[in-house]
Amino acid sequence: MGLFLNIVVDGVAYGMILFMIAVGLSVTMGLMRVVNLAHGGFAMIGGALAHVFGTQMGLGFGLTLLLALAGTIAIALPLERVIYRRVYGFGELQQVLATIGLTFLMIATVNWWLGSTLLAVAMPEILNQSVDLGFRTLPAHRIAVIGLGLSVTLGLWILIDRTRFGVRLRAAVDNRAIASAHGINTDRIYMITFGLGAGLAALGGIMGAELLPIDAYYPLRYMVLFLIVVAVGGMGSILGSFLAAIGLGLLETATRYLVPDLSTITFFALVIALLAMRPQGLLGRE
């Protein structure tokens, strides 16, 4: 029972992190049809900035988080305007290459600036404690991550489902040409979505630093993982990404607890089997 609870709590927390990082990737892929291999780079940039503001400069956690998110978005938006906007029109392969090139530049920049060592992100004291639930104690960090993940999901749902921006975003995902023809400013939607996705990735990167440690090679190391979430969930589907992230988080955690020697192999084998049966992912369209 204790093991089961551990797997569930760790798995769901891990899944929430994956969701925060990957959801922006899924939406940009569904919306702009761009294969963005550099997306994990924004999680790394967030983590690296949090390391600089929090650990090196010793700012408080709240301020650090705010500055790191703002900094990541401030980097992402110009990139969208200068690089990505041109990449949208490219073929799949050129997109892959361009974003690999961008990934390499991000890695090189962080490597040059902060070195190739682990970049510790200090969590506030309260998150390092345990929470006593009466029958069990759980790490506060996991609970906070799950709570944060749920709030992000709820916030996204309200944004997509209940606001004018959401209506336009969904219209643009469904059919870019028609959305443009109806006077929706797709350029602005792209930019806002991209910035939002990068910001969420940074949030996931910072909060998940304990599970996915930040260093210069982060974007390459976890690239497959983030792509898997998107592919399993179905490109462009937020709910799909959520289900996939939680499912994969549980799966990976379970295999790591239950078959530690074969966890990676089991994980990949199950993912490949799933995608062989449903190439478009859980909630993706044909």
Partner 1 sequence: MRNLIAPLALILLGVALFFLFPYNLAFATRIVIMVILVLSLDLVLGYAGIPTLGQGAMYGAGAYAAGLFAIHIWADPFAGLIAGALAGAILALISGFVLMRASGLTLIMLTIAVASICHEIANRARGVTGGADGLRGIRMDPVFGIFEFDFIGVTGYWYTFGVAALVFAFLVILVRSPFGLGLRGIHESPDRMMAIGAPVYWRRLAAYVVGGAIAGIAGALTAQISQLVSLETFAFALSAEAMIMLILGGMGRLYGAAIGTVVFMWVHHTAAANDPFNWLFVIGAMVLAVVFFLPSGLISLPAAVTRLIKGGRNGGA
Shortest distance, position 162 Cβ to partner 1, whole Å: 30
Q: How far is Cα 39 from Cα 108, in angstroms, rounded to an integer? A: 15
Which three-class secondary structure state does DSSP give residue 130?
strand
Spatial CA neighbour of 200 closest among 13, 22, 3: 22
Q: How far is Cα 99 from Cα 39, in angstroms, rounded to an integer? A: 8
* Identity of the residue, 250 or 270, whose beta carbon is nearer to partner 1 in the bound complex: 270
Shortest distance, position 101 Cβ to partner 1, whole Å: 3
Q: How far is Cα 180 from Cα 172, in angstroms, rounded to an integer? A: 8
| Residue 141 · residue 128 · CB < 8 Å | yes
Please work out the total of residues on this chain that contact partner 1, with binding judged by CB under 8 A: 43
* Identity of the residue, 13 or 201, whose beta carbon is nearer to partner 1 in the bound complex: 201
Per-residue interface string for the shown chain with partner 1, residues 164-203, x marking contact by CB under 8 A: ----------------------------------------
Q: 216: Cβ–Cβ under 8 A, 6 or more apart, which residues? A: 44, 107, 110, 111, 114, 115, 116
What are the Cα distances from residue 262, in Å, to 224, 256, 257?
18, 8, 10
Selected range binding partner 1 among 103-111, 123-131, 170-178, 249-257, rule: CB under 8 A: 103-111
Q: What is the DSSP track for 248-282?
A: HHHHHHHHHHH-GGGHHHHHHHHHHHHHHH-TT-S
Residue 93 in contact with partner 1, rule: CB under 8 A: yes
Task: Please give the single-letter amino acid code of residue 20.
Answer: M
* Identity of the residue, 83 or 160, whose beta carbon is nearer to partner 1 in the bound complex: 83
Shortest distance, position 35 Cβ to partner 1, whole Å: 5
Shortest distance, position 48 Cβ to partner 1, whole Å: 15
Residue 120 in contact with partner 1, rule: CB under 8 A: no
Q: How far is Cα 140 from Cα 129, in angstroms, rounded to an integer? A: 6
Residue 279 in contact with partner 1, rule: CB under 8 A: yes
Q: How far is Cα 3 from Cα 240, in angstroms, rounded to an integer? A: 27
Q: Which of 119, 200, 235, 243 binds partner 1 (CB under 8 A)?
A: 235
Q: Which of 60, 101, 147, 155 binds partner 1 (CB under 8 A)?
A: 101
Q: Which of 112, 113, 182, 188 binds partner 1 (CB under 8 A)?
A: 112
Selected range binding partner 1 among 94-102, 127-135, 200-208, 246-254, rule: CB under 8 A: 94-102
What are the Cα distances from residue 109, in Å, to 18, 105, 113, 197?
24, 6, 6, 21
Site for partner 1, rule CB under 8 A: 29, 35, 83, 86, 90, 92-94, 96-98, 100-105, 107-109, 111-112, 220, 223-224, 227-228, 230-231, 235, 261-262, 264-265, 268-269, 271-272, 275-276, 279-281
